[in-house]
Amino acid sequence: MPTQEYPNNPNINTKEEEEQVISLKDILEMIAARWYWFVLSAIVCIILARIVISTIEPTYQQNSMVLIKEDDKKGDSNGSTQAFLQLSGLSSTNEIENEPYVIKSTPLVQEVVQNLHLNVNYRKWKTLRYEELFNETPATVDFVGKYYKDVSFAIHPLSASMCKIYKFEISDPTYGVSKIEYEKTVPYFVPINTPAGRVIIKPTGQVPIDKFNYDLYVSRHDIGKTADAFKNELSTSLEKNTSLITITCEDKNLGRAQAILKNLVDIYNKYTIEDKNKVAENTAKFIDNRLKMVSQELGAVDSKLANIKSRSKIIDFEDGAQEYLTESSAAKTNTVELQTELSVANYIRQYLNSTANRNELIPDLQGKDDLAASNQITSYNEAMLQRNRLILNSSPSSPVIADLDRSIAAMRTNIKSSLYANIRSIQIKLADAQSAEGEINSKISSVPETEKTALDAKRQQEIKAAIYTFLLNKREENALQLAITESSAKVIEPPYGSTAMTSPKRSIILLASFIIGLAIPFGILQLLAMLDSKVRGRKDIEDNTTVPILGEIPASSKSDDQEKAFVVDKTSNDPVSEAFRLVRSNLSFMNKNAKVIMFTSTTAGEGKSFVTRNLAVTLAMSGKKVILVDTDIRKATQTKIIKHANDFSNRIGLTNYLAGTEEDLDKLVQKNDDESGFDMLMSGPIPPNPAELLMSERLDFIINKLREQYDYVIVDNVPAQVVADATIVNRIADITIYVIREGVLDRRYLPELEKLHQTGKFKNMSIIINDCHMEKKGYGYGYGYGYGYGYGYGYGYGIEDQKSSTFDKIMSVFTKHKRHHKHHHRN
């Protein structure tokens, strides 16, 4: 219990040692106190979320997995080329790593759009949104004319005529952004000129024509823009350390997503086959040209040899030079092979040196006797094909293309160097073979000159025949390769995926809406608590002042208490009566010798007069002799309430004594009645100079006389911050009780109240908190008003003020939860 000594509170305006937080229990109790707000908010948010979900078009996801097969003809050339590029300071990109980008390139997607006619869109209205149609569309539209602008219109089916001819109605066409007034009825399969262009409507058979009973909305868009839109729906990923590529398509129609994936893989395979065939076709063209030239040269040699034999009438030259021919057989065979290799190498070298063939594929002449650069030519052709595929989806200045161009240039230089070294090696070997053959020829000088000429012609014939045979074999191999060319991609997993939509995420949206529904009232209550600057209970006063709190008067639970002058009587055991009894008990501990008790407040409307008269009743019920003095001589509020009178012009009271017009105290004092139990000195007629009258020594004299006659003199004064009367009258008081009403006084005024206390402007100041909004906290918690009586009133009794505002109830939810942390150690 507070005593008469009031030491300074070291916790005022300083950070509390124990930080105030809202625990989970506080939150749950706050929700329980206003559970219907949270339930209503959650239900509204969930309903709104379901409405929003119904307006969003669902999206479905389908996947397909393909295996990219590598070319088996690479051999070791790829490693050699990679090593050469690294030594040259260049980098080469793995072909597999580029394929995910090639698969979803713009040319391929555009062809998918053209094949599936995706630039023509079909929709129908479904409750709150449009639904995309693909295989489910009951009719399709063929646009005969070229595309110029986006067009759209609606198709409304009509009932069949007597001849069972089904008709439809076209309406609401839009050309570009302009809407055109148009409406026409025509049958199926009949071309019709519309503002949207010339069109033909055909039934698909997917939906029975008699079930077509809704409006079908048709729109046509640019193929390029449509391809860009569907390209954004596609994604590709290369599985780590494998040649497997996963293709994903997210679309608003499940069947359309599956069709896009299947068609995309088919088109990709078609493109890869075309790329491979380009090498074979270029090689075939080169071989045909060389065959034509070699055939002419071989015919000339055959004619020369036939002429020699005809002139010399010789059928076989082997009999005369059999011995020398046997010796030179190996040397001649070696010479023929070397000349063949040298001829082929020179053909390739001439082809590479030609400016017109710079960006063309190099003929692949690898066969039984491979050239040294044959493997490098294979790698070069693969790199050139890769560049041609990538440049379809990007510009020549892109980093990937630039990197490939540098790699191809380096490979072309490498091939030229290899060919040059190969040619030099063949030339050296050929010179050695020819030298050996020359030595043999010198030995057969005895052979007739005609035979020597014939032998030379025969040797040329054999060389040309070998070259011609090689080219014929290569042409057959190339034709076979062209016939058996297979695709690069093998479908491992056809389009698959869940039939459930991937977005919107119903469960996530509903859960989020439920959480938001709970958060909205919580946030509103928290915001209102943050914006509220009113005093919300004992803790606010204790945190900002050192003024002792004499007691707390709870808000009345009776709706008619507002109309009554007194709410306390001897037989009443309600929380308000018990609160006044507790104040009476605390008052006796403060100062047993105090007789004159002055009541004041900050402003009007804080219940000062209510507390004053009911405390007077409570003191009188304890057997004390009590008088209530109404010193509010400006308005006489207390007198009006107790005596139920508004006109005091003819009724005597305090002002009569202060003015000296009445000296008899017995005439001034109104004796107690059965209702109040105390005497009363009314204010009297309202004077023109109230402050001067209160400053008169006569006030001290009359109060001293009352001290002698009564146990308690209760002085009801004016609010302290309205006029100076309270300060003037306080000189005669032993105790000053400052009434603060919860939810009325601004907390920012409490430091000023502390100054009044510290400076002693009001004698022995203490505070009564009026209109407290209690709540259930369990018996024995906080400051129970029924301690010792067995009622358990107070914070543990759960009283609600029926006349309090909704805002006050909201504030009490937050402020009351934070009060209990330090109540005990503050007292």
Dist CA 768 CA 786 (whole Å) = 17
Dist CA 523 CA 534 (whole Å) = 19
pLDDT of residue 791: 31
Contact 542, 750 (CB under 8 A): no
Dist CA 546 CA 59 (whole Å) = 66
Contact 600, 720 (CB under 8 A): yes
- Here the contacts of 130-133 (C-beta below 8 Å, separation 24 or greater) are 130/57, 130/217, 131/57, 132/57, 132/251, 132/252, 132/253, 132/256, 133/216, 133/253
pLDDT of residue 229: 92
Contact 414, 84 (CB under 8 A): yes
pLDDT of residue 313: 53
pLDDT of residue 688: 87
- Burial degree of 226 (CB within 10 A; 0-12, 13-18, 19+): buried
Q: Determine how many CB atoms are found less than 10 A away from the CB of residue 21.
A: 8
pLDDT of residue 363: 79
Q: DSSP code of 601?
A: E
380 DSSP β-pair partners: none
The DSSP element (H or E) to which 471 belongs, if any, is helix 449-483
On the question of a cis peptide bond just before residue 494, with omega within 30 degrees of 0, the verdict is no
Contact 518, 38 (CB under 8 A): yes
End-to-end CA distance of the chain: 7
Helix (H), strand (E) counts: the chain: 24, 22
Q: What is the pLDDT of residues 480-491, one digit of tens each?
A: 766 666 667 778
Contact 747, 540 (CB under 8 A): yes
| 324-347 residues labelled b (16+ CB within 10 A) or e (exposed) | bbeebeebbebbbbbbbbbbbbeb
Dist CA 145 CA 191 (whole Å) = 11
Q: What is the value of pTM for the model shown? A: 0.57
Amino acid at position 826, single letter: R
Q: In order along the chain (827 residues), what is the average pLDDT of each group of 10 residues?
A: 41 43 72 87 93 90 86 48 47 68 89 92 88 90 88 82 64 79 82 84 82 88 92 90 89 91 89 76 80 81 74 56 62 78 81 77 62 74 80 76 82 83 84 78 60 73 81 78 67 83 88 92 84 84 90 74 71 85 87 88 89 92 91 86 62 87 87 78 88 91 92 92 86 93 88 90 92 56 35 31 42 45 35
Dist CA 720 CA 190 (whole Å) = 96
178 DSSP β-pair partners: 175
Q: Can you say how many angstroms the Cα of residue 513 is from the centroid of all Cα atoms in its chain?
A: 15
Dist CA 477 CA 538 (whole Å) = 103
In sequence order, the 6+-apart residues with CB closer than 8 A to the CB of 120 are: 140, 141, 143, 218, 219, 220
- Burial degree of 706 (CB within 10 A; 0-12, 13-18, 19+): buried
Pairing of strands 216-220, 151-157: antiparallel
CA distances to 323, 331, 464, 533, 795 from 460, rounded to whole Å, are 21, 14, 6, 116, 124
Q: Determine how many CB atoms are found less than 10 A away from the CB of residue 641.
A: 16
Dist CA 472 CA 733 (whole Å) = 133
With vertex at residue 136, the alpha carbon angle to CA 132 and CA 140, rounded to the nearest 5 degrees, is: 85
Dist CA 204 CA 189 (whole Å) = 11
